[in-house]
Amino acid sequence: MWVRARTIAQIVFLVIVVAWISAGQFYYKQTPYYTKYEPKTEAKNVFESEKADERIARYNFWLTVFTGLLFAVASIQIYFLTRADITARKAANTAEKALTQLERPYIFIWQMLGAEPTITFSGSDNPQKTIQGARLHAIFYYKVSNRGKLAAVIENVSIACGYENQPRHRYPPLTIIGDHYFMQSPLLSAEADSPNLNHAVLWSYLDRTSQTFKDGLIFRVVVSYRGLFTKGHETSQCWRYQQSVHGFAEVDDPSVTYAR
C-alpha cells in the first residue's frame, strides 16, 4: 500500500511539473516579440505593461497552485509514513513481548503434603501394639521447579498457614521466610527441581482442640523471582485441606493461585 501511494504521489508531482512548464511556454509563445528597432509608442508601452502584469499574475497563480499541490502530496506522504511507523512499532513490541514470554524462567510449586503432629509408633517386640505420640509442630512439604528456558533468581519466599475464619480476610496473612533455603541458594537453573522443602508450623498456633487437620486449613507459598533479562515475576500456590479426600487440594482462586 505504501509503495502504491508513493507511486501515485510521484505521478501527480510529474504531471504538475509538466503542466506548469507547458503553461509557461504557451504564454511565452503568445507574447509578441519586439526587436530593438521597432518603434515603441506610448500605447504600446501601456499594452506591454499590462501584458507583463498579467503574466506575473498568472505565474503567481500557478505557483500558488503548485505549492498547494506539493503541500498536499507532502501531507499524504507524512500520513503514510506515520502509519508505517506505528505499524512497525506495534510489530516490534509484539515481537519483544513474545520473546520475553519465551525466554524467561517459569517457577512452579507442587507436590505439597502436610504431616499432622500425631505420630504412631509400633513396638519392636509386639508390632500389633502401637503407641501414639505428638510433635509440637505440623510440617508441610513441597517442591519448587523451574520449567522455563532460563535460570531463575529467587528474591524472596513467603508462606501463609492457618484456617479460613475471617470474612473480610479470607486467607491467612503471608510471612516472609528469611531463613528459607532459597535465601542461601537463590539460583534455580532451567529445567531444575529444588530439593524437598518443608515448613514447620507450631501446632498450638493452628489448633488447640485436636491433633488432626480440619476442613479449611490453608497452606500457601509465594515465590518472587527474576530472570537474567526480565524481572517482577511471581508464582503463588495455595492449598486447602479437605477431610473428604484426606488431604490438601488446590484452591481455584486467581487471587492466591497464579503464575506471572
pLDDT tens figures, 22-41: 555 444 444 454 445 455 55
Look up the pTM and report it.
0.61
User: Rounded distance, CA 10 to CA 2, Å?
Assistant: 12
Which tens digit of pLDDT belongs to each residue from 132-173?
556 688 999 999 999 998 999 999 999 999 988 766 668 999
Which tens digit of pLDDT belongs to each residue from 103-132?
889 999 999 999 887 655 555 555 555 555
Please check whether residue 236 is in contact with residue 258, taking contact to mean a CB–CB distance below 8 angstroms: yes
What are the φ and ψ backbone dihedral angles of 20, each rounded to 5 degrees? Answer: -65, -45
What are the φ and ψ backbone dihedral angles of 235, each rounded to 5 degrees? Answer: -125, 130
Q: Please calculate the CA angle 162-159-112 and round it to the nearest 5 degrees.
A: 85
